């Protein structure tokens, strides 16, 4: 594309979005970062309370708290399980669902349904399945972990990871389905003419063809995974056994909103954002190297 | 030469095993197993919501004739004004959809296809926004919307933080990036103004992305509980997700089958989203996009 | 080319605009205390409380058309504190909230969101006259009342008569008075297959869950002590350790469930007992044939032993301009007549002294509530100390780790929690 001309109309077109971001999120975000460097509580208007600047005190407090460090580790465990599983399964299923399979509509809807159902209700079903005398343990018999899944400190976070993968897969399948529409049919045809098997054409046509979508899916999976809150809250009632399923956002909620310490909560939040940016940045680097 | 396949022939048969047409059995079996795994919890939800008395044993997974009734749905309907809440949910979601589909498309197009000052900053801001957890922002955001903008107890106050969904903007940007450069270059060389290019080339093609974006954006506001609840206390303005959450936390305990009532509410909430998907998903078939360039 | 407004500048402009708009009104407290006019109140969205609230509001509005009260509902659950904190910060809290949790009062007070009732001429005296000695524990560390003790739900032990009968245990005088008796009964219930668990309090790690398993029994065992007294944790004591040891045994022998249960385990018959308050009478009316006794203590339960109050109170919020009306309406809604209506319509115990005598007719007609009424004279509240939520969270984390999941020795865990809490509340 000829790279020398500028199109200033771009500013006009993206202005509403830019204004939206600035008007809605700039202040809260700025305030959150500011809060993380001060000793701060939210007060009623007109109430004067000392809010001294404390440098990185909040950050050191938070980093030296074993519960917080544990929660970041938990999220890493979560991401390691959830992201590859999500990307792989979503692409495979989207490809399968893109083809002319009988009952395609039924299949598509069935994979999408968990995504649209409110977590509050679905969680109950999962508790039913994974409780100590639930369906899964009955099927597994003596192979079932003891203590049972969600109260087992080694299985709590992986159980949550599998649950979230299952629940959100519909969203990512949708993204891939849309991307698959843009893979030109000619490429499949020429692969077929060259005698490629289905698996081969999947690897050499589909996968490269949806690369932009893969980037998006991976990025979004990382981001939503890092910001995990509802599932630890509902599935393992807070932090789980030995805090093994607490997530950073859960701790932010507890400390910021329940306990009234927005300063340490903001520090956790900023650290989380930095962590995600590092991971996402690392992922982009990996991709550029592969491309 | 462009090859347009006759309607009804799937590309899969051609790309698969040569010229033989085979039923993809492996695929069907695989998909079926997957579908069962995915649907079973939802199936259990529906069965549970139809139970008159709660039956948490394993046998409860199968509907028993004596235990099936619409009682739970009646109880919910009596406790909350389903019609009004659905309307509020619809207004909230529609507002978000309009904002996203109108301004998001423009922003996505600009980010993908135009070069201008501030593009990089905007893209970075968009990414950053995605990363930030809502819980970090919720109280200052509330203070800003209610105090500075004075939007308490209003639909606009509910809609504002969600007005333009950044994932959708990302999707639009991705979509426009994937369009062949030649499309745009051809038009520009012909002397079309940028607005003309937008109107006549980009927008007519954007329908698949619009569908994707609608489906993606719909769920957020539809299922959102905390924000609308914070912003409006008037029961008449609360969307269904809030009404249901309230119901779950209080009235449900006194219902004949509390858990069943919760499931009934969840089914009601999920219904429109599933219907929407059903309606839109049939547009996800290959378009002749690639072939539109040649010839 | 259009001049471009950098994102940063736009953000800065917004910040300045917001800061400029952020001022509050400057009426003095004394003036506001006299002001009269229309006010807003929030009720919890419990259906019966809403019904009570609506009739109280209607009665008031008829008598005082120039001081109209508008009532709205907020959720009674965990999010209510977040909602109240947010509205205090935004300055749009109502005048009265009939759903103020005593554990949240220190935080709201620190936020500058609460009006001390002592600001009103008869504030403190009204509270003392209505609630008597039980009201004293609701004072804040500075000696003022920032909340009005409104209603309590004294926690007692419900048992399922059908399950007990099936297990061969007496349903009229079940042996549940000492820890030893309770454990034996629990073992009998579970081993006979009559119920899956003897008792199933929520094993979740939320800060308030200890109020329903540990705290009621600690109140009984320690003779009415709060968790923290005079800025020192009290539970690192024989009483606290006894309660912890008791629960540890229940969990270790699987007599109490460690997993979250979906729904109401007592109503479903999964658990034979539950520690709940009088609100449960209406809920279990048709579902369970229940009996009620006091919670066990090591030596044996007594009629006048203490328990946790599970109270919900009313507070006046600083965003209120017509505080005079707010105070008058508060007194009206906690008058003898309205307290009586609250009792009739919700079954919860107003925190009023001499409850059984004042509403003798009601208790004769509804004997099931009488036990709770007598108990409401012996309730222990959560300590009114700064960092109270954090304190309970630290306690719950230690409890969960040691007593429920058995990863640590409870005595050690409690000691460490006590040290941490002493640090928090000083």
pLDDT digits (tens, 9 = 90+) for C33-51: 889 999 999 998 888 899 9
Which residues of A, range 234-263, sit inside 8 Å of B by Cβ? 249, 252-253, 256-257, 262
Q: Residue C197's beta-bridge partner residues?
A: C271
pLDDT value of residue C13: 47
What string of DSSP letters covers C118-138? GGSTTHHHHHHHHHGGGGGGG
Residue linked to tokens 């006194």: B254
Q: Residue B51's beta-bridge partner residues?
A: B68
pLDDT value of residue A10: 85
Same domain, B64 and B179: no
Choosing among B4, B10, B31, B124, which should be mutated to test the A contact, i.e. which has the most A CBs within 10 A?
A: B31
- With a cut of 70, which residues of chain B have pLDDT below it? 1-24, 53-61, 63, 66, 249-255, 284-295
Inform me whether the C-beta atom of residue C206 falls under 8 Å from chain A C-beta atoms. Answer: yes
Tokens of C372: 């709770």
pLDDT value of residue B18: 43
Q: Is residue A4 scored above 70 in pLDDT?
A: no
Q: Indicate the helix (H) or strand (E) that contains A199.
A: helix A198-201
CB-CB under 8 Å, B229 with C75: yes
Which residues of A, range 3-32, sit inside 8 Å of C by Cβ? 8, 11-12, 18-19, 21-23, 26-27, 30
* All partners of chain C with 3 or more CB pairs under 8 angstroms: A, B
Q: Residue C159's beta-bridge partner residues?
A: C273, C291
**HSE-up of A124 (CA within 13 Å, CB side)?**
24
Q: B138-171 burial, b for 16+ CB within 10 Å, e for fewer?
A: bbbbbbbbbbbbebbebbebbbbbbbbbbbbbbb
Identify the CATH homologous superfamily for domain C156-309+384-425.
Periplasmic binding protein-like II (3.40.190.10)
| Cβ-nearest to A44 among C112, C259, C387 | C112
**HSE-up of C281 (CA within 13 Å, CB side)?**
24
Same domain, B229 and B272: no
Of the candidate ranges A43-57, A111-125, B154-168, the one whose mean pLDDT is the lowest: A111-125
Tell me the nearest-neighbour CA distance from B80 into chain A, angstroms.
18
| Cβ-nearest to A13 among B107, B170, B171 | B107
Percent of chain C with pLDDT over 90: 73
Q: Rounded distance, CA C335 to CA C329, Å?
A: 10
pLDDT value of residue B8: 37
Question: Domain C35-146+312-350 belongs to what architecture?
Answer: 3-Layer(aba) Sandwich (3.40)
ipTM score of the complex? 0.85
pLDDT value of residue C17: 43
| Cβ-nearest to C1 among A8, A47, A153 | A8
- Count B/C contacts: CB-CB distance under 8 Å: 80
Q: Is residue A210 scored above 90 in pLDDT?
A: no
pLDDT (mean) for A155-175: 89
Q: What residue ranges do the domains of chain C occupy?
A: 35-146+312-350, 156-309+384-425
| Cβ-nearest to C4 among B117, B229, B246 | B117
| pTM for this entry | 0.87
Which residues of A, range 110-129, sit inside 8 Å of B by Cβ? 110-118, 120-122, 124-126, 128-129
Q: Is residue C314 scored above 90 in pLDDT?
A: yes
Q: B263 contacts in A (CB within 8 Å)?
A: 121, 124
Choosing among C116, C205, C417, which should be mutated to test the A contact, i.e. which has the most A CBs within 10 A?
A: C205
Q: Is residue C147 scored above 60 in pLDDT?
A: yes
Inform me whether the C-beta atom of residue A237 falls under 8 Å from chain C C-beta atoms. Answer: yes
Average pLDDT over chain C, rounded to whole?
Answer: 89
Q: Residue C308's beta-bridge partner residues?
A: C380
Same domain, B108 and B194: yes
Percent of chain C with pLDDT over 70: 92
pLDDT value of residue A83: 94
Interval C349-373: pLDDT, tens: 999 988 999 999 999 999 889 999 9
CA dihedral A284, A286, A291, B2 (to 10 degrees): -60
- In-domain check, residue B201: yes
| Cβ-nearest to A7 among B28, B115, B267 | B115
Same domain, B155 and B227: yes
Tokens of A29: 């975000």
CB-CB under 8 Å, B291 with A99: no
Q: Is residue C18 scored above 60 in pLDDT?
A: no
Q: What residue ranges do the domains of chain A occupy?
A: 64-290
User: What is the count of structural domains for chain B?
Assistant: 2
Cis ω for the linkage preceding C37 (within 30 of 0): no
**What CATH code is carried by the domain that includes residue B123?**
1.10.3720.10
C-alpha distances in Å from residue C11, one per residue of A19, A37, B258, C18: 9, 19, 48, 11
Q: Rounded distance, CA B70 to CA B76, Å?
A: 10
Q: What is the CB neighbour count within 10 angstroms for residue A144?
A: 18
CB-CB under 8 Å, C23 with A45: yes
Interval A235-285: pLDDT, tens: 776 667 777 788 999 999 889 988 889 999 999 999 999 999 999 888 888
pLDDT value of residue A71: 93
Tell me the nearest-neighbour CA distance from A168 into chain C, angstroms.
22
CB-CB under 8 Å, A3 with B284: no
B29 or C149, higher pLDDT? C149
| Cβ-nearest to B146 among C22, C73, C92 | C92
pLDDT value of residue A175: 86
Inform me whether the C-beta atom of residue A88 falls under 8 Å from chain B C-beta atoms. Answer: no
Tell me the nearest-neighbour CA distance from B37 into chain A, angstroms.
9
Q: Indicate the helix (H) or strand (E) that contains B290.
A: none
Inform me whether the C-beta atom of residue A7 falls under 8 Å from chain B C-beta atoms. Answer: yes
| Secondary structure (3-state) at C304 | coil
CB-CB under 8 Å, A31 with B259: no
Residue B170 and residue B81 in contact, taking contact as beta carbons nearer than 8 Å: no
Identify the CATH homologous superfamily for domain A64-290.
MetI-like (1.10.3720.10)
- In-domain check, residue B9: no
**3-state percent breakdown (helix, strand, coil) of chain B, nearest 5:** 75, 0, 25
Spell out where C322-404 has E strands. Answer: 349-350, 379-380
pLDDT value of residue A82: 95
Phi/psi for C239 (5° steps) reads: -65, -50
Inform me whether the C-beta atom of residue A177 falls under 8 Å from chain B C-beta atoms. Answer: yes
What is the DSSP code (8-state) at residue C97?
E
- Residues of B at the C interface, defined by Cβ within 8 angstroms: 54, 56, 79, 117-118, 121-122, 125, 138-139, 142-144, 146-148, 152, 226, 229-230, 233-235, 245-246, 249-251, 253-254, 258-259
Q: What residues contact C310, with CB distance under 8 A and at least 6 apart?
A: C152, C153, C154, C155, C211, C212, C277
C-alpha distances in Å from residue B17, one per residue of A201, A206, C318: 11, 16, 75
Same domain, B262 and B132: no
Give every strand in the sheet of C290-293, ordered side by side: C197-199, C271-276, C156-160, C290-293
Q: Rounded distance, CA B84 to CA B241, Å?
A: 12
Phi/psi for C151 (5° steps) reads: -140, 150
CB-CB under 8 Å, C4 with B235: no
Residue A44 and residue C114 in contact, taking contact as beta carbons nearer than 8 Å: no
pLDDT (mean) for A81-95: 92
pLDDT value of residue C220: 95
pLDDT value of residue B290: 34
Please provide the distance, in angstroms rounded to a whole number, between the alpha carbons at the two ends of chain A.
19
pLDDT value of residue A118: 76
Q: Rounded distance, CA B37 to CA C342, Å?
A: 49
Query: Of C317, C316, C327, which is closest to residue C90 (Cα–Cα)?
Result: C317
* All partners of chain B with 3 or more CB pairs under 8 angstroms: A, C
Interval C225-263: pLDDT, tens: 999 999 999 999 999 999 999 999 999 999 998 887 877
pLDDT value of residue A138: 79
Alpha carbon C300 to its chain centroid, in Å, reads 26
Note down the domain range covering B149.
Answer: 84-242
| Secondary structure (3-state) at A53 | strand
Residue C94 and residue C42 in contact, taking contact as beta carbons nearer than 8 Å: yes
Spell out where C161-200 has E strands. Answer: 197-199
Tokens of A93: 């299923």
pLDDT (mean) for A118-135: 75
**For residue A22, what is the nearest residue in chain B, using CA coordinates?**
B125
């Amino acid at each position: 594309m000829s790279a020398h001309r500028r199109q200033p109309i771009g500013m006009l077109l993206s202005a509403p979005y830019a204004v939206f971001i600035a008007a809605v999120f700039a202040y809260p975000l700025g305030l959150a970062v500011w809060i993380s460097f001060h000793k701060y509580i939210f007060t009623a208007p007109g109430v004067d309370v000392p809010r001294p600047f404390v440098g990185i005190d909040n950050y050191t407090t938070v980093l030296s708290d074993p519960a917080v460090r544990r929660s970041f580790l938990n999220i890493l465990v979560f991401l390691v399980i959830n992201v590859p599983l999500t990307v792989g399964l979503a692409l495979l299923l989207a490809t399968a669902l893109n083809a002319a399979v009988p009952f395609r509509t039924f299949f598509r809807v069935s994979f999408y349904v968990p995504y649209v159902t409110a977590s509050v209700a679905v969680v109950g079903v999962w508790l039913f399945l994974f409780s100590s005398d639930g369906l899964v343990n009955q099927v597994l018999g003596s192979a079932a972990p003891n203590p049972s899944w969600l109260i087992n400190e080694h299985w709590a976070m992986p159980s949550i990871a599998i649950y979230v993968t299952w629940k959100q897969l519909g969203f990512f399948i949708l993204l891939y389905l849309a991307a698959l529409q843009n893979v030109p049919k000619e490429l499949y045809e020429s692969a077929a003419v060259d005698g490629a098997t289905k698996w081969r054409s999947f690897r050499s046509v589909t996968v490269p063809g949806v690369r932009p979508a893969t980037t998006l899916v991976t990025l979004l999976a990382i981001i939503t995974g890092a910001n995990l809150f509802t599932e630890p809250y509902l599935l393992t009632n807070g932090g789980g056994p030995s805090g093994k399923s607490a997530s950073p956002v859960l701790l932010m909620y507890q400390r910021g909103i329940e306990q009234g310490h927005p300063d340490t909560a903001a520090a956790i939040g900023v650290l989380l954002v930095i962590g995600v940016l590092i991971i996402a940045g690392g992922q982009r680097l990996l991709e550029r190297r592969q491309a | 030469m462009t090859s347009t396949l006759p309607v009804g022939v799937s590309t899969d048969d051609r790309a698969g095993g040569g010229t033989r047409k085979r039923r993809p059995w492996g695929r069907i079996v695989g998909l079926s197993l997957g579908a069962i795994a995915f649907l079973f919890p939802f199936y259990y939800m529906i069965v549970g919501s139809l139970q008159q008395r709660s039956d948490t044993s394993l046998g409860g997974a199968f509907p028993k004739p004596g235990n099936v009734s619409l009682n739970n749905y009646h109880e919910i309907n009596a406790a909350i004004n389903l019609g009004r809440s659905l309307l509020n949910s619809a207004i909230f979601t529609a507002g978000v959809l309009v904002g996203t589909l109108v301004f998001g498309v423009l922003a996505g197009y600009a980010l993908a296809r135009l070069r201008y000052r501030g593009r990089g900053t905007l893209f970075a801001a968009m990414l950053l926004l995605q990363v930030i957890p809502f819980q970090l922002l919720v109280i200052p955001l509330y203070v800003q919307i209610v105090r500075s903008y004075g939007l308490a107890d209003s639909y606009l106050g509910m809609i504002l933080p969600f007005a333009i969904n950044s994932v959708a903007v990302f999707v639009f940007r991705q979509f426009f990036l994937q369009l062949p450069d030649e499309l745009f270059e051809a038009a520009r060389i012909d002397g079309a103004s940028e607005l003309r290019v937008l109107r006549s080339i980009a927008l007519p093609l954007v329908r698949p992305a619009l569908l994707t974006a609608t489906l993606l954006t719909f769920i957020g506001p539809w299922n959102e509980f905390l924000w609308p609840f914070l912003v409006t206390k008037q029961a008449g303005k609360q969307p269904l997700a809030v009404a249901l959450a309230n119901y779950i936390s209080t009235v449900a305990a006194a219902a004949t089958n509390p858990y069943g009532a919760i499931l009934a509410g969840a089914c009601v909430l999920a219904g429109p989203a599933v219907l929407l998907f059903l309606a839109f998903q049939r547009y996800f078939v290959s378009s002749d996009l690639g072939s539109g360039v040649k010839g | 080319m259009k001049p471009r407004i950098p994102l940063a500048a736009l953000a800065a402009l917004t910040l300045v605009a917001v800061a400029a708009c952020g001022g509050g009104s400057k009426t003095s407290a004394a003036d506001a205390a006299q002001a009269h006019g229309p006010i807003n109140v929030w009720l919890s969205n419990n259906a019966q409380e809403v019904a009570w609230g609506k009739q109280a509001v209607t009665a008031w509005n008829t008598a005082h058309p120039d001081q109209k009260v508008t009532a709205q509902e907020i959720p009674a659950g965990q999010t209510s504190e977040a909602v109240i904190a947010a509205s205090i910060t935004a300055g749009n809290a109502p005048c009265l909230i009939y759903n103020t949790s005593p554990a949240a009062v220190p935080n709201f007070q620190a936020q500058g969101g609460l009006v001390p009732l002592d600001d009103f001429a008869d504030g403190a005296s009204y509270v003392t006259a209505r609630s008597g000695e039980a009201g004293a524990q609701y004072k804040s560390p500075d000696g003022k009342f920032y909340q009005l003790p409104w209603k309590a739900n004294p926690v007692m032990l419900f048992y399922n008569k059908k399950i007990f009968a099936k297990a061969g245990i007496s349903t009229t005088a079940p042996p549940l008075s000492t820890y030893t008796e309770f454990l034996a009964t629990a073992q009998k219930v579970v081993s006979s297959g009559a119920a899956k668990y003897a008792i199933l309090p929520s094993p979740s790690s939320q800060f308030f869950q200890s109020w329903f398993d540990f705290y009621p029994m600690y109140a009984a065992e320690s003779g009415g002590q709060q968790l923290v007294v005079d800025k020192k944790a009290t539970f690192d004591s024989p009483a606290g350790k006894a309660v912890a040891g008791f629960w540890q045994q229940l969990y270790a022998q699987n007599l109490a469930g460690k997993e979250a249960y979906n729904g109401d385990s007592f109503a479903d018959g999964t658990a034979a007992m539950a520690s709940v308050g009088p609100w449960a009478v209406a809920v279990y009316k048709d579902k369970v044939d229940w009996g009620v006794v006091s919670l066990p203590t090591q030596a044996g339960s007594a009629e006048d032993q203490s328990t946790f109050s599970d109270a919900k109170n009313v507070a006046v919020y600083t965003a209120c301009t017509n505080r005079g009306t707010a105070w008058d309406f508060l007194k009206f809604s906690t008058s003898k007549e309205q307290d009586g209506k609250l009792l009739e319509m919700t079954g919860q115990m107003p925190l009023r002294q001499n409850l059984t005598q004042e509403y003798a007719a009601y208790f004769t007609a509804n004997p099931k509530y009488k036990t709770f009424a007598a108990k409401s004279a012996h309730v222990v509240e959560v300590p009114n100390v700064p960092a109270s939520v954090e304190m309970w969270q630290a306690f719950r984390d230690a409890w969960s780790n040691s007593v429920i999941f058995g990863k640590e020795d409870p005595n050690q865990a409690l000691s460490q929690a006590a040290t941490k809490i002493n640090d928090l509340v000083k």
